[in-house]
A = this chain, B = another copy of it.
Amino acid sequence: MFQNSFENVRKNCPLIHNITNYVTVNDCANILLACGGSPIMSDDKDEVAEITTICSGLNINIGTLNKRTIESMLIAGKKANQLGHPAVLDPVGAGASKLRTDTAMQLLKEVKFTVIRGNISEIKTMASGSGTTKGVDADVADKVTEDNLDDVVSFAKAFAKKTESVIAITGAIDIVADSEKAYCIRNGHPMMSSITGTGCQLSAMTAAFVTANPDQPLEAAAAAVCAMGYAGEVAHSRLSDMDGNSTYRNYIIDAIYNMTPEMLEKGSKYEVR
């Protein structure tokens, strides 16, 4: 099934409009190319509606946001909705500042997102309208474990129902849920948290997957999450003793580049709850 989702990305080469932070933007562009999509980055209010129009999907990431780009996010998000284009929201750091929380909430209110992808603290913040986020990382108190997994699955399904979006909560265990069904994904490697931007990259890639699979947003988002985690495993297996997080960053993107849909199908580790 994930094989098919990935094949559609490689076949359709979806052009994705990204309004994203300047920290990880280059990696987002390269991973989009690696998976078979095509990126365009554009954040000026005078062009975002047009850029969204020529693209097939939209990825909004609120890292390093500012007033100028928030306005652009709203314009692009509404335009994508109007055109029926899939849209992904990455609420980076929601809970870490009022500006980020408010922006995430405003986007949620004014734009319909196909997928919302964040860490557990960011998603909890969005569900409650306030929260604590340790900078751009999840709060330890929020951590998803085997013990609280069923609770988090229920929470994700409820938030998915409320927002009518697929909710992707990523961490040691990833949960990708709509209101009825949740994929609990156990791909990935702990070292991924030592690289900046694996979350941002995943959101960009998720936009490509849901855009290439418009009728199956849940499966497409789960496939993207598995692909990222599996790439983290493949990349880790290549590391030599002297390699560290910077080489690992490159190898993860390389692993997406070289991953075939068949490899993803075999490498995916998940259960449905």
Contacts and interface: CB of A to CB of B under 8 A. Distances in A.
22 contacts: A15-B134, A23-B29, A23-B41, A29-B196, A33-B195, A34-B244, A38-B134, A42-B64, A43-B66, A44-B64, A46-B67, A47-B100, A50-B98, A50-B99, A51-B97, A244-B253, A244-B254, A244-B255, A246-B249, A246-B250, A246-B252, A247-B254
A250 B253 contact: no
A40 B136 CA distance: 6
Contacts of A249: 30, 246
Nearest to A242: B238
Nearest to A48: B97
Interface of A: 15, 21-27, 29-30, 33-34, 38-44, 46-47, 50-51, 54-55, 63-68, 93, 96-100, 134-137, 194-197, 234, 238, 241-247, 249-258
Given A26-B27, A250-B250, A42 B245 contact: no
Q: How many copies does the complex hold?
A: 3
Contacts of A253: 244-246
B244 A257 contact: yes
A195 B30 contact: yes
A247 B245 CA distance: 13
List the 3 closest pairs (A to B, CB-CB), nearest first: A244-B257, A244-B254, A246-B253
